[in-house]
Copies of this chain bind each other. A is one copy, B any other.
Amino acid sequence: MKIINDSITISTRGFNDLKDLTEILHEKLKNSGLRQGVLTVFVQGSTAGVTTIEYEPGLVKDLAELMEKLIPSSRSYHHDERWGDANGFSHLRASLLGPSLVIPFSDSKLRLGIWQQVVLVDFDNRPRQRQVFLQFLGE
């Protein structure tokens, strides 16, 4: 059993920017030489999240509109009053979605569905450089 720690840096535009990580995860798994185990994907920061989605332009828009409906960016939050950074909505969206995902792999393949992509969603109100930590644990 072996642990491989890795991380990727991703430039985002903020405002619900969705980045498809699937290809890079497949590649990193291949390079790891591991056959079975778990991959933990964890975004460092409190205004971004990780989930799976069918990555296509329609749903990318739908998810942004859903977040705007559930947690509007237009209203003011207590966080904004205290800190003046006006991204209370970004924090709330991130806490709701969650910062991490654990994906099992076997036969050297991530056990994702065909239309199921792993995405980073950046909820912040400005462009960001995101650190996504990756850890493969397996054999």
Contact yes or no, A37 B3, CB < 8 A = yes
In the bound complex, CA of A70 to CA of B138 (Å): 38
Flag if B100 contacts A103 (CB, 8 Å).
yes
Q: With A59-B79, A111-B42 in contact, is A116–B99 under 8 Å at CB?
A: yes
Q: Which of A37, A111, A139 has the most CB of B within 10 A?
A: A111
Take A53-B95, A100-B101, A116-B99 as given contacts and tell me if A58 and B44 are in contact as well, using a CB distance cutoff of 8 Å. Answer: no
A15 on interface, CB distance cutoff 8 Å: no
Given contacts A44-B112, A91-B54, A113-B46, contact A104 B135 (CB under 8 A): yes
Query: Which residues of chain B are near A37, meaning CB under 8 Å?
Result: 3, 137
A117 to chain B minimum Cβ distance, whole angstroms, is 8
Question: Secondary structure of the A side of the interface?
Answer: mixed
CB of A38 within 8 A of CB of B115, answer no
Q: Are A66 and B71 in contact (CB under 8 A)?
A: yes
Among residues 68 to 99 in chain A, which have CB atoms less than 8 Å away from a CB atom of chain B?
70-71, 77-83, 88, 91-92, 94-99
Contact with B along A111-134 (1 / 0, CB 8 A): 111011100000000000001010
9 closest Cβ contacts across the A-B interface? A58-B78, A58-B79, A44-B113, A104-B135, A58-B82, A45-B113, A5-B106, A46-B54, A111-B133
